[in-house]
Amino acid sequence: MSEGEVQSVREMIRMQLQKVQERGVGLYMDDRPATPDEVACRYVQEQNVYMPDYVLNEMGILEQVRFDRIGPQ
């Protein structure tokens, strides 16, 4: 993937996460609150693999998206 393509993917993810956060959904990365910028920058890296975990409340409404590193470390 070229640097331009990586930047494009990061920007797309950042914009999507910003919209999610504006709806009141909390964003977390490695068990800490995170901004859309932080998630997008760290999520789009070849040396780290992150898995999003979608946390719903008792009514089935999305409350949090938690990104946890699953490998390699």
DSSP string across the chain: --HHHHHHHHHHHHHHHHHHHHTT-EEEETTEE--HHHHHHHHS-TT-EEEEEEEE-TTS-EEEEEEEEEE--
Burial grade of 62 (CB within 10 A; 0-12, 13-18, 19 or more): middle
- What's the pTM? 0.84
Q: Is the pLDDT of residue 59 over 60?
A: yes
Q: Which of 60 and 69 is assigned the larger pLDDT? A: 60
Rounded to an integer, the average pLDDT of 46-64 is 92
Mean pLDDT of 4-26: 94
pLDDT value of position 49: 86
* pLDDT band with cut points at 50, 70 and 90 for residue 3: confident
